[in-house]
Amino acid sequence: MAAHRLGTERMIYAMSPLNLPALQVASGDTVVVETADCFENQVQSETQPFVAIDWEHVNPATGPIYVQDAAPGDLLAISIERIETADHGVMTTGPEMGVFGDELAESTIRIVPIVDRTVKLLDHAYPCRPMIGVIGTAPRESAVPNGTPGEHGGNMDCKLIGQGATLVLPVEVPGALLALGDLHAVMGDGEVCSTGVEMAGEVTLRLRVLKGRDLPAPFLVDSEQAATIASRPTLDEAANAAAKSMAHWLQRQTPLSVAEIAILLSAKGDLRICQVVDPLKTARMEIHRSVLEDLGIRLEDLARV
């Protein structure tokens, strides 16, 4: 299996079937992807004018990557082996930004040092838990801006999309056209101020095309849990869609009735918020892998991608 590297000289601002591939790889290959932060590294000082940010160049994603043998109807499994952090991150908030935008009269920028896998935030040190905010494949028809999440992935801002996780996305166009960016050193569920600790960095991925597999997408597996992810215009709709995606998959995998699956998810599942600040809201339905194993469902092959 070959190893490849892709730098930030090739970035896109929308997931589109018309994007030309920046790199072509085979199923099973490893790719090291360099990313800019969500502001394309424009923010370098806490005192710089907020209005100077070029909002046409936010949420850049490096790519796209064309995966050989990936055809519409397949799935792409993306195993995240490592995320290398930059030496600092950026946080911003202000009027009309995030949950508190109606209470803020002026914009605030914070430069957050990252030292020895910790972030120095408001005079305290917190462990880094690096994750990918924007990661998606090209949708079948029209382009979707990187800042908008959807069935193709995009700006899901799910904090589980980090080291050791495997994310499954749909393939809707030949080659899948995977792109990613918007790394965070750490982010809480909700991303309520509209940013996590935004950073540049480097992600090591292993990619595999899955054919004939019955998995929902977007779908995530890590060492502890599996999760279905859904994005919709309202948080209620996103939460319902994430829960039903998990339930319908379990219904296909087991002899359980809808009522039995509902009882199981209510007792042993966790319905969580990913983000509430993008054009669509994102939620996830988690279930521990031990519960899946009790049902005879094993996902070790995804963990070994």
The domain that contains 112 carries what CATH number?
2.60.120.580
CATH assignment at residue 246: 3.10.28.20
- The 10s digit of each residue's pLDDT in 22-47 is 999 999 999 999 999 999 999 999 99
Residues 189 and 268 in one domain: no
Arithmetic mean of pLDDT over the chain: 96
Same domain, 252 and 158: no
Residues 83 and 133 in one domain: yes
Q: Which pairs count as long-range contacts for 296-300, CB under 8 Å and 24+ apart, including other chains?
A: 296/253, 296/254, 297/250, 297/253, 297/254, 299/221, 299/226
Q: In this structure, are 100 and 51 located in the same domain?
A: yes
Global pTM reads: 0.96
Same domain, 161 and 36: yes
Reported as a pLDDT band with limits 50, 70 and 90, residue 305 is very low
- Rounded CA separation 5/34 (Å): 8
Residue 128 one-letter amino acid: C
> Hey, what amino acid is at 19?
N
Q: Do 234 and 259 have their domain in common?
A: yes
Among residues 210, 229, 260, the one where a domain terminates is 210
Give yes or no: residues 74 and 141 share one domain. Answer: yes
Cis before 170? omega within 30:
no
pLDDT for the residue 144: 98
Tens digits of per-residue pLDDT, 233-272? 999 999 999 999 999 999 999 999 999 999 999 999 999 9
Mean pLDDT on 40-56: 89
196 and 230 co-located in one domain: no
pLDDT tens by residue, 89-137:
999 999 999 999 999 999 999 999 999 999 999 999 999 999 999 999 9
What's phi and psi for 253, nearest 5 deg?
Answer: -95, -15
Among residues 176, 210, 244, the one where a domain terminates is 210
Task: Give the pLDDT band (50/70/90) at residue 303.
Answer: low
User: Is the pLDDT assigned to residue 222 strictly greater than 50?
Assistant: yes
- Structural domain count of the chain: 2
From 210, 227, 258, the end of a domain falls on: 210
Whether 203 and 233 map to the same domain: the answer is no
- Residue 269 lies in domain: 219-303
Pairing, β 178-184 against β 61-67: antiparallel
Distance of CA 176 to the CA centre of its chain: 16
Give yes or no: residues 113 and 10 share one domain: yes
Domain match, 251 and 194 both: no
